[in-house]
Structure formats: C-alpha cells, structure tokens
Structure 1
Amino acid sequence: MNKKDSLMLIDGMALLFRAFYATAVTGQYMINAKGMPTNAVHGFLKHMLTAVSEFSPSHLAVCWDMGSKTFRNELLDSYKANRGEAPVELIPQFDLAKEVVSAFDIPNIGLAGFEADDCIGTIARQVGGSMPVSIVTGDRDILQLLEDKVTVILLKKGYGNYLVHTPASFYDECGLIPRQMIDLKALMGDPSDNYPGVRGIGEKTALKLLKEHGHIEGILENLEKLSKSHKSKIEQDLEMLHLSRKLAEINCSVPIECDMEAAAFSPDREKVEAMLADTGLRGIGRMVPYQPEVVFNS
C-alpha cells in the first residue's frame, strides 16, 4: 500500500434517499428518454463525486441494504416497521444506482440479512489497521465506528458541505467516546428505527447516566444510586434496554470482504460517459475525474 492510500466507504442508501427527497418535494424526478426517473441517482452521483474531489481517496466502495428484512427483524418484529414503502419513482433507481456505480468500476457491496451499516463497519474494521478509512453518510448512527484511522464524513445541507468527525471531535461534541453511542441509543431508543429503549429516558438523561457510569453495566451496578424515577424506569424496561443495545450496535463481523485491487478508484472515462449518455445523466460527466496519463521516458 502507498503511504497516501485511503479507502472511502459510501453509504449508498443514505445518499440515494437523501438525493431523492431533496428534489422529489418539488416533483423534479428528471425522467429520462426511457421514461425512468433519475433524480435520486443524479444526486447520489453528485454527492459521491463531490466527496471524492474534496477528500481524494485512492480506493472507493459503495455499501447497500439488500432488502428490508435483516437479523434485527428476527430480534424485534417491529424494527423499522414504521417506515412505509419506497416511493414508486425511487424503486427503479435502486438497481440503476448500482449499475452506475459498476460503470465507474467501483465495487457494490451488500449482503442479504444485513444493513449497509454492518457492511461498512465490517470493512472499516478489516481495512482500518492498514490504511485510513473515511465513511460518507448522512446517518449519525455510524459515528459509533470512529477510531484513530476511521473518520466519518457527515453530509450537511447541499453539496460539498460536511461535518468531519474523529474520535476527538465526537468527544468534544457530546462528551462520549464512540462506543458509548451504542449505549446512548439503547437507553433513549430510536424512533426512526422503531425501538423504544427505556421509556421515559431521553437524550439528556441518557448522556448524564453514561457520563457518570460509563456504560450500561456501570449504570446497572449502581441502580441504588440513581433517582427513584430513573431506577424504576430502567428496572421496568430492562429487557428492552438489552434488546435495544443489540439493535443499536453495528455488526462488524459480516461475512464479506472488500477487494482492494477492485476498489482502486480509476474510472474509465469512455465507459462512464457512455453510461451517463445512455441513462440521460450527461450533466454529471464534467465531475468525473481525469486520470493522469502515463508518460514513458525514451
């Protein structure tokens, strides 16, 4: 590996959904000549290529959810059950996005039964010891993966606006180390993923308890020192607390690998431009980086 090598992992679903809803609210679905909406894929590519331009990774891979059911649904039937079906204009763009990524010769990575987060966490653990890893997402849940060589690039409004987190910046923001984010979510729950944590315990209380006792085990060992109200709430929801912790933790042992040779970012411009023309995404062409030509000395 070159000293300057780095791997960028893209949270495909997070970027695709973000791009879709940014334009869908005004009905700008960007229907191409084949009658297919392309607004989500167009925005996804802009997010990905802008991040590549900004952070210059040598290697790139995109991770995807592979269906709505995962091992978490086996733990809790109602996990993410509050989410409706994807909009009809978005559904055909799931496959199109993967085809576009393949045209850039970037690996698409996903495994049925696991979420994109789990694939990202697994690869970050596998690679993080040998080269720096950056994760591009809009999902703060991934902050639990922060390590010395793993940074998280959170998308902010618009394109090219980022909040880059390291373990130090995360601690500065909330006073916790990254792993404590799992216990934070276990205590306060996650309405977007549809699990409750401990009813009546919000973010402010959860942060206070973790800063005082370190982790869930520390809280449980010191129940008698808690206020009567907090003690009662935790005791009543103890089973859900432990279950919520399992749901909140990203699985970093998914049976997948990232082929680093395949992930070396070196798109074939002709191939990419042919795909962009075929799908009506020509405006993206100017964002595709030029690869330096090899010069041979005579």
Structure 2
Amino acid sequence: MTTKRLFLVDAMAIAFRSYYAFGMGRPLTTSSGQPVAAVFGTAMFMHKLLTEQRPDYLVIARDVRQPTFRHQMYPQYKANRSAMPEDLVAQLPLLERLFKAFGCPLLSIPGFEADDLIGSMARQWGTPDLQVYIVSGDKDFMQLVNDHTFLYQPKKGEDAAIIDRGGVAAKFGCTPEQVIDCLALIGDSSDNVPGVPGIGEKGAGKLIAEYGSLERILENIPLINNKKMREALLNGRDLGLLSRQLVTIRTDIELPVTL
C-alpha cells in the first residue's frame, strides 16, 4: 500500500510569518490602500507548499480570538504579547477567504488553540500508512513527532526543515515524548509560560537525561547535588507542574471532520 501524506497547517503561524516577511519596511497594499502583506505572503507560501509537496490531504487550523482553557487555568497565559497589529487585523477577513479558497477544511473550535486541533488530528489520524506533516515554526509541536508524524518548519530563503526524532534530539537533547517535561522546566517566554525559575535549557536537558521525566525529577529533588538547581526545583515545583499542563498539546478533541 502506498503511504499517503496529510499536511496540517497552523494558519496564524504562517500568516504572522508572512506579515513580517512582506509587511516590514514599505507596507504592501492594494491600490485602494488595503494592507495585503500577510495575504500575499501566505498565498505564495501555500502555492509553493501545494505544488512542491502535493499532499494527499490538507487541513488548515486557526486560533479563535477568545480565551481558551489555558487562560482559565492561568490568566497570565500569553498576557505578555502585544496586541495584533491593526494592519494585520484588517487582513483577517481576506486571510479567511484565502484559506477557504484552497477547498480544504478550515477548522477552529472555541476554547481551544489551533495547536490542540492539530495535535488531535495528528494523533487520531496518523498511521504508518498516513504520514502527518505539521506545517508551523512552533517548537512546541516537537512533542507530537513520532515515526509517522513530522514537523515541517518553514525557513527564510531556504527549503523547509523536516523535523523527525533526530531533529527533536538535536534541539532539546531528549525524545519527543520528553519534550513536554523539558518545556515545563524551561518555560516559554513567547506564551508567558513560567517554567521553573532558575532552570534553563542546559539544566533541563541534564535533569531529563538523568531522571527521564518531570515526575521523577520532583520525586528526587533531595538527591540533586547542584544546590541552586535543587532550590529552584523546591521553590518552583508548583510552577513546573502548572507549566506542564500549559505546554501539553491536547490530542483528544472530538473533531468535526473526518478524512
């Protein structure tokens, strides 16, 4: 049986990337003054993706602009982000029309992020006979990588990077299954996820390598020789557990479409 390929596109990740690639410097507008940098860049990216990769299936997931379950869990979630630029807000209706023009499902579910929709599709649909490619630059998706799920990361001025298990190990020094615990320790400044204050990437990598999981790390705090690291974990235990919940991509959402 021929292996088929499903591409899951993180809509706003691509739109933001296109906005900053084409909208900086002299703004790109129509003759009437309508900003179109994000629309133009997204259209170019999608055309390149479809003509070069020729996916068997394509689904686009987008965020809702309302709070999600993560905001209910931690009101400061993403609170450090600036408001969306007005000229990008003005392009959202055009971007929606563009994505719909590709004739594939365009999904959003109130209360969830696009990440959770993509995670659920990847886990529920991916099989050895159906490879899944997650189209996004977001490193959080590395937690979903397995033998038939890959991260397709766009790169400026070069071909996209295909991240497999080896790519995850190169980035985090751990397996995809351990990425959640690594992120729980490090935190994520872009999403205002606190992590464990005082634990950086290097320290998190060492802890995961030695103990295997956040749970085992917390169980063995008294045995950790490094005093600063031990104190950081004692003081930041609850933040680490909260951060683990925040960085975990949901994979169990009931999906409104099937392949």
1:16 paired residue number: 15
CA deviation digits over 1:15-60, x for unaligned, max 9? 000100112221322x224542111011112112212223221111
Q: In structure 1, which of residues 173, 176, 181 is the aligned counterpart of residue 174 of structure 2? A: 176
- Alpha-carbon distance between aligned partners in 2 of 1:84 and 1:173, rounded to the nearest angstrom: 27
The whole-number CA distance in structure 2 between the counterparts of 1:249 and 1:38 is 34
Distance 1:57 1:189 in 2: 34
Partner of 1:90: 88
Question: Which range moves more in the overlay, 199-208 or 49-58?
Answer: 49-58
Match of 2:189 in 1: 191
Percent identity reads 37
Aligned position for 1:266: none
Larger Rg: 1
Pick from 100, 103, 118 the counterpart of residue 101 of structure 2: 103
Provide TM-score, normalisation by structure 2: 0.94
With 172-181 and 113-122 compared, the bigger mean Cα shift is at 172-181
| Deviations 1:217-260, CA, capped at 9 Å, x for gaps | 11122212212221111111111110000001101122224332
CA distance in 1, matches of 2:190, 2:169: 24
User: Which stretch of structure 1 is more off in the superposition, 194-203 or 251-260?
Assistant: 251-260
What does the per-residue CA deviation read over 1:262-283, in whole Å, with 9 as the maximum and x for residues that have no partner?
xxxxxxxxxxxxxxxxxxxxxx
**2:162 alignment partner, one of 161, 164, 168:** 164
1:42 aligns with 2:70: no
Structure 2: distance between partners of 1:54 and 1:174: 29
SS class of match (1:72): helix
**Contact 1:64/1:109 (8 A) holds in 2:** yes
Contact 2:6 2:57 in 1 (8 A): yes
TM-score (norm 1): 0.82
Deviation at 1:171, TM superposition (A): 2.4
Cα shift at 1:214: 0.5
Deviation at 1:101, TM superposition (A): 1.6
Deviations 1:186-229 (A, max 9, x none): 10111111121111111110011001110111112221221222
Distance 1:8 1:64, change over 3 A: same
What is the 5 A alignment of 1:1-298?
A: 3-29=2-28, 31-33=29-31, 35-129=33-127, 130-158=129-157, 161-226=159-224, 227-260=226-259
Structure 2 runs not aligned, ≥5 long: none
CA contact (8 A) 2:66 2:110 kept: no
Greater RCO, CA 8 A, separation 6+: 1
Distance 2:258 2:46 in 1: 20
Q: Which runs of 4+ in 1 moved over 4 A?
A: none
What is the alpha-carbon distance in structure 2 between the residues aligned to residue 123 and residue 34 of structure 1?
40
**RMSD, aligned α-carbons:** 1.6
Segments of structure 1 that go 5 or more residues without pairing to the other structure are 261-298
What's the secondary structure of 1:45's corresponding residue? helix
Provide the rounded CA distance (Å) in 1 between the counterparts of 2:172 and 2:67: 32
Higher mean C-alpha displacement, 129-138 vs 163-172 = 163-172
The Cα of 1:4 is off from its aligned counterpart by: 4.1
